[in-house]
Amino acid sequence: MKKTLDFINQANKWGAHNYHPIPVVIESGEGCWVYDVEGKKYLDMLSAYSAVNQGHRHPKIVNALIEQVNQIPLTSRAFHNNKMGSFLMKLCQLSGYEKALPMNTGAEAVETALKAARKWGYVKKKVEAGKAEIIACSNNFHGRTISIVSFSSEDQHQNDFGPVTPGFKVIPYGDADALEHAINENTVAFIMEPIQGEAGIIIPPEGYLKKVREITKKNNVLLIMDEIQTGFGRTGKLFAHQHEDIRPDIITLGKALGGGLYPISAILADDEVMEVFTPGDHGSTFGGNPLAAAIGMAAIDVIVEEGLAERADELGTYFIDGLKKIDSPYIKEIRGKGLMVGLEIKEEYGSARPLCEKLMNLGLLCKETHELTIRFCPSLKISKEEIDWAIENIKTVFAEDITQ
């Protein structure tokens, strides 16, 4: 373990301590598996928070990267490039929206959506200057910029980072009446996750999305659906809001859009919203670069060609059923959709962290979220046999005395 400790100590010495990682140092990976610096093999059941839905180093996506690197990776938006248009066309045709706007990280996509909504509010809805309001949900996670943490309900996200950006209101998640009451003439948008990932895989009540869509439509309020974690097959549909057959006004995408290789994000909307942006309103040096476009196209192709959403649907049910059969006094609840699965332990057992470390020792990588929930989000290429293997190991850990 000397190598492992050396790498961890080095990162701790030279890096800011803004994370608390599981003590494993990964060196390489392929598909659903990764290898650490000691040569030990692990089943990756986090997939970089769903950024690796296609599996590590998918050959088609790696090839797209190599080909484009050998042509031209970066041009900036000062010039056109011959890849961005096809990438955006593919995104629009896949999702049924009229326009896409490319950025890099998820937080940037969310910022883009908020800017689009505010400007739409002033230009189209004719909200009085400076008065636009956006409603968000408690326990949301939309990223880490100052404006995004301004509507976080997590104390740690806001404390010591103020003053916060005004113009946001927070209401309980899953409560359609609360949304109806929170809307006023200045409300321009409601932003939500179809399933709250960071909050611990929280699934809203059945019918919530449909009601939210009705209420926002009736009040001329944009519905922004943050599909950064839930998108691209994770929950058993291409996008999680499709489980309730609704059409949001703006969708934010990220994570798996980069195929596990590169940060790529985007927002999708129709012209009615997207046309509010004029040159100079918004942009990014790297957004829509040819390398991102080539990788993004391959990442989308893999999801579609390999039927990864259907796979997630089928294997997710199989995984959740298997987990539910584990008989343990420590487990409070198993919940999930597709291969986005949470296992919550009872509060009296303190923290799920020691369980994640025990699973690491058995060769299974996962991570606790909000102390009590273990999030299982493997690559969508995972096989039934690998799921069986995971369940056996989870069973083993829960058969031990976890209070030790």
Ligand X SMILES: *Cc1c(COP(=O)(O)O)cnc(C)c1O
Catalytic residues: 141, 226, 255
CA atoms of 334 and 342, how far apart (whole Å) = 6
Question: How many other CB atoms are found less than 10 A from the CB of residue 41?
Answer: 10
Binding mask 199-238 for ligand X (x = CB under 6 A): ---------------------------x-xx---------
CA atoms of 72 and 75, how far apart (whole Å) = 8
Q: Shortest gap between Cβ of 241 and ligand X (angstroms)?
A: 12
How many residues bind ligand X (CB under 6 A)? The answer is: 15
Sheet of strand 340-345, all strands in order from the earlier edge strand to the far edge = 331-337, 340-345, 373-376, 367-369
CA atoms of 335 and 129, how far apart (whole Å) = 44
134 contributes a contact to ligand X by CB under 6 A: no
| CB nearer to ligand X: pick between 68 and 265 | 265
36 contributes a contact to ligand X by CB under 6 A: no
Cβ atoms 109, 266 nearer than 8 A = yes
Task: Return the range that interacts with ligand X (CB under 6 A); candidates 33-41, 100-108, 122-130, 291-299.
Answer: 100-108
106 contributes a contact to ligand X by CB under 6 A: yes
Tell which residue, 387, 368, 284, 277, has the closest CA to residue 32: 387
Task: Return the range that interacts with ligand X (CB under 6 A); candidates 136-144, 157-165, 182-190, 323-331.
Answer: 136-144
DSSP structure class, residue 204: P
Q: Shortest gap between Cβ of 229 and ligand X (angstroms)?
A: 3
Which tokens sit at 4?
Answer: 């492992």
Residues 241-280 binding ligand X (CB under 6 A) are 254-255
Q: Shortest gap between Cβ of 197 and ligand X (angstroms)?
A: 5
| CB nearer to ligand X: pick between 235 and 393 | 235
Cβ atoms 302, 105 nearer than 8 A = no
Check whether the bond before 163 is cis (ω within 30° of 0).
yes
Tell which residue, 265, 340, 336, has the closest CA to residue 295: 265
Q: Shortest gap between Cβ of 254 and ligand X (angstroms)?
A: 5
Sheet of strand 99-103, all strands in order from the earlier edge strand to the far edge = 99-103, 265-269, 250-253, 222-226, 187-192, 133-137, 168-171
142 contributes a contact to ligand X by CB under 6 A: yes
Which tokens sit at 50?
Answer: 């769903």
Q: Shortest gap between Cβ of 393 and ligand X (angstroms)?
A: 26
Choose, by CB under 6 A, the member of 31, 34, 36, 49 that binds ligand X.
49
Choose, by CB under 6 A, the member of 55, 143, 204, 287 that binds ligand X.
143
Residues that bind ligand X (CB under 6 A): 49, 105-107, 110, 141-143, 193, 197, 226, 228-229, 254-255
